[in-house]
Structure 1
């Protein structure tokens, strides 16, 4: 197939695919990457299988090539549920597997960042706020690497890979959510290739999602072994767990395996929805590897779209969903991960617009429910 036809059909040139795939082989599918995933998958009998199942459910982001790779994988391996590693190696090894190439890039950047965070950062003892900052710094560094490898593609479609942050000050007071950090996944939809618009493909993947603004809240917890203590309680405001359940967007625990003693091969940072945890009155601990996925898989699910990870219609709505059920406290920072430039400026504008709407009564101000103020905030400031 000639270069122009390949570009028209798949949205990337042959050279762009080669460059991006080469970096995937060097990073995602390196011995270090495989070790980090293997160490995590083997922690419990169900851990790897659950991540594979959650990753397998992501169909809306797939292109025609991705759907074909998925079908071929089932036929060749003669299984209904491939393993975590099989899905990564056989579907997500090429950028043409996704409708939007920047989602593929962000996914692999997160895979690289969580690998390095697990094996290079978590072995040494540290505080939760410092660990969160190091994770976000790692994502920023990985985005730079992947953006350089895909610069031709990103420049042509006028996209970028960006992670930035802003201070949140709404309604005259500084705010903090119930989590250690809030993140909005801001994905601009790119034009679909001709191949991906065929009716037989959209029947399997669904229609294009359009621009997505997905607000997420994470509460960081360190743990050792396979259980994490989630019983943190404020003297007057009650359990932190109950505060997280009141947040109007997807709220999660993010678990870091970290102890005072050196840990040789810590697990990847694991994300568990608060809704998957038993009520704090029933159990003070939760299983780290039960109904949990690694951070990169969670970000991919957020990009794909699921009912338990609701998206907002606008950037203002995304901010409002995060700021719902907050209380005045110390400065909180919002992290934005996306594929458009100047995200910090865009969200500062959105925050000003939200403030104006609240002040003028166009939008009802979020209720100021009690939240724990004993959580630490990330020091990440890109």
Structure 2
């Protein structure tokens, strides 16, 4: 396969990174040559380091995280001009022409490449149901940004319906009878939201919990039935492995916070194996949470959203019968029967939605005259 497919991710949140790696894996399994780029590798070092500062601030204070979306800015001011020039030059020399972008930040780069090579084609892949901040920022500076590209949304916000899924592990969902009846509680890639506030209440309701921690200080070694999991806090999305590739975050169950061990996950993110066996996931309605929910048929209990785009994500999951807002589930006294009904809806409907990677590959095959 000579036509290299380039998947353009962002490290701002795992919801704009992990789905790209899942698509990469699926396309590779179909025989395609695929590369992944992460936007932060084009940024000036001080701007990239600021991403870490922001992450810590957002983890500590959900109000600060939500307020950050209202701060206008132009991402181009954060770019290192030499890194940008080198990347575009390399792409041009290599003849790259097929792209999938999960972040609006990349469109500025695609536009410059298109000025040199008008034959490039790109999917602008919206993993949220409404425009997330990178796309809104792009639209502010270039309202017609999509006119030269193909827009693909995983969801239709007008009719509140799912259009595509992103397959995580290629397996059928586990039935209720083979699950462990535990609940997974997390705050997305950056530990954002109100998930910590739900832990005690859910345990008092009789549920056993698998909690994602975002630092050693969040782990209670004295909790007998609570299990803790964590991504390696020193890992960053913009880092490449010794083999020169972007990877899923190193992940592990934390038994003792003084002795934390993490392992690389090759096929998908490590948390997926945990939530695939669970009765439900309690999380804000982020892009990654929805993708995991549909792929595994694990219901989502929806916490407060991070911005308007996640509010619409929640609306769609409720409308489809795949999730329920936390307050509404509390009103049922945390009824397990609700989770079983949501799981059933997911199992019945998930196959109705085409996998995006397969859809993309079919288009590639048609262009190459293979079908």
TM-score exceeds 0.5:
no
Greater RCO, 1 or 2 (C-alpha within 8 Å, sep 6+): 1
TM-score (normalizing by structure 1): 0.31
Normalising by structure 2, we get a TM-score of 0.32
